[in-house]
Amino acid sequence: MQKKNVLLIGGGNMGAALLRGIIRSGLAPARRITVIDILPGLLETLRSRHGVNVDFDPGPHVAGADVILLAVKPQILPKVVASIRGSVRGGQLVISILAGVESSRIRDLLGKNNPVIRVMPNIAATVDAAASAIAGCDPATEEHYQVAEALFGAVGEVVRVEEKLLDAVTGLSGSGPAYVYTVIEALCDGGVHMGLPRDVAMKLAAQTVLGAARQVQESGEHPAVLRDRVTTPGGTTAAALRELEDRALRAALMSAVAAATARSKELNRNSAES
């Protein structure tokens, strides 16, 4: 990556998070990165903060790029494609985080048989804790996948999946932070209801979720095993878990993933038809 030129189209939250991760991890030097966006203030911030090149128009920078990162809204894909299609070379790797747009569609729109890797990250990339899934289409090779894994590994964990499973990824980890925010809020409110000051309750709730997640990651043990380890028969945790089962917390979370997956599939169909 050190000798590759990177063109990042879109400097919003996800683009800026990825940019920060790339530079901090040393994957590519700032002088080899160009960021494209329509907002002058945003570009100036990224330029002054990271020392990258910036521009409003991707056209002049496409030919010299080894990796083109698309971090824009799906609605403006046709405009972006129109601005770069004439300069794209067939060997350039294109990495897209556009929700609902299949990798093969981007390849076909560009018309040069580019290797395209599609990534579904989540908002936790902004704190270097993203859960990202990647998939791609021909002619993407193992080397192309490794480049995408390195880039997104700079801001979190990366897994490979079949592209048909990216809707399920959206339902689980793409939308998942919102579910966890709701859990943290509810735990905090419960603590406040029991008499804790709100700032104390929020700190305890957030750290509890963070610590439990870290135990799952680092121990490699099933969450049920870890749960049983902290559940004393007849104790406080057992009473709380009974309440959660009675109120169907597990079923509600499973249904949330299913609903978000179904909606993602619907949006994908609409995108493909447009």
| pLDDT tens, residue by residue, 175-230 | 999 999 999 999 999 999 999 999 999 999 999 999 999 999 999 999 999 999 99
Q: What distance in Å separates the CA atoms of residue 264 and residue 258, rounded to the nearest whole number?
A: 10
Q: What distance in Å separates the CA atoms of residue 123 and residue 15, rounded to the nearest whole number?
A: 11
Kindly tell me if the per-residue pLDDT of 270 is higher than 90. no
77-84 vs 103-110: helix crossing angle, rounded to 10 = 40
Residue pLDDT, tens place only, 22-74:
999 999 999 999 999 999 999 999 999 999 999 999 999 999 999 999 999 98
Residue ranges of domains in the chain: 6-167, 174-265
For 96, residues 6+ apart whose C-beta sits below 8 A from its C-beta are: 69, 70, 103, 106, 116, 117, 118, 119
- pTM of the entire structure? 0.93
Give me the CATH code for the 174-265 domain, please: 1.10.3730.10
Q: What distance in Å separates the CA atoms of residue 199 and residue 213, rounded to the nearest whole number?
A: 21
For 26, residues 6+ apart whose C-beta sits below 8 A from its C-beta are: 2
Q: What distance in Å separates the CA atoms of residue 31 and residue 51, rounded to the nearest whole number?
A: 7
Structure tokens at 66: 């080894």
Which superfamily does 6-167 belong to? Answer: NAD(P)-binding Rossmann-like Domain (3.40.50.720)
Average pLDDT of the chain, as a whole number: 96
**pLDDT given at position 267:** 82
Three-state SS at 174: helix
Q: What distance in Å separates the CA atoms of residue 196 and residue 190, rounded to the nearest whole number?
A: 9
Q: What distance in Å separates the CA atoms of residue 260 and residue 115, rounded to the nearest whole number?
A: 28
Q: How confident is the model at residue 274 (pLDDT cuts 50, 70, 90)?
A: low
Do 6-167 and 174-265 come out as alike in CATH topology?
no
For 121, residues 6+ apart whose C-beta sits below 8 A from its C-beta are: 14, 18, 97, 130, 131, 132, 152, 155, 156, 174
**pLDDT given at position 268:** 80
For the chain, percent of residues with pLDDT exceeding 90: 93
